[in-house]
Structure 1
């Protein structure tokens, strides 16, 4: 879709709401540091690209996430789907994120990011088959490096 695309949201409303709820489940897992909840949003054969780090398969994805979360005391994670296009049992989406992270060393990091997603309906439920994340903007008052 180009920048001039008028309909950023397309496809059945019920599916778009389910995908919004999937993002809510993702965010809830992050905020509560609950790997079991967070893992439910992924397809078994999913792909995750986290700022250039590529991981394949749900088990490896959850393992990498647990490692990343291990250095954090707390995370406030907000996400807003800004495009969802559903076509049958497949969908694409763009999701803006805002995160406030508190490290175990007491440093704060504030990040605005963007996910570019591919999803599929599997067993009647929507799951992420591919998520690519990049940082769009960052505010770091303490000067901690990326």
Structure 2
């Protein structure tokens, strides 16, 4: 379990920026930018579903996003711990969603992440697990 912020500041900042790039891509519904946040061999657990590999993750995201007219994700960083080229992170999300039928949803949740610095120097998710904390 991550309890604080550990590791080089530049790496922790790059990881925060990766999390923020993920959210920005959701706001813009940019599947390519969103998929770029993932390592090629990543896994994603969300809404009782799992996907493995960047392309499968992208496909699942497109399927899930098809049910929403708009999604806004706001992040609050919990903690980041960096150990060489791997890291763990915890962040909290507040999501405002409008379903295609016009129904609005408010969701708060937690992401538990593992990341890796890839060969190009970019930090990418190797796994993300989302837990809903509140739903309204």
Q: Count the aligned residue pairs.
A: 135
* 1:69 matched to 2:65: yes
* 1:104 matched to 2:100: yes
Q: Offset at 1:120?
A: 0.4
Instruction: Quote the residue 1:93 is aligned against.
Output: 89
SS at match of 1:105: coil
Unaligned runs of 5+ in 1: 140-146
Instruction: Quote the residue 1:26 is aligned against.
Output: 22
Task: Give the structure, 1 or 2, with the largest relative contact order (CA under 8 Å, sep 6 or more).
Answer: 2
Unaligned runs of 5+ in 2: none
Q: Distance in 1 between matches of 2:8 and 2:48?
A: 33
Q: Distance in 2 between matches of 1:84 and 1:134?
A: 18
Moved over 4 A (4+): none
Q: Offset at 1:51?
A: 3.1
* 1:129 matched to 2:129: no
Q: Offset at 1:85?
A: 0.2
TM-score (norm 1): 0.89
TM-score (norm 2): 0.96
> Residue 118 of structure 1: which of 111, 114, 128 is its match?
114
CA radius of gyration, larger in: 1
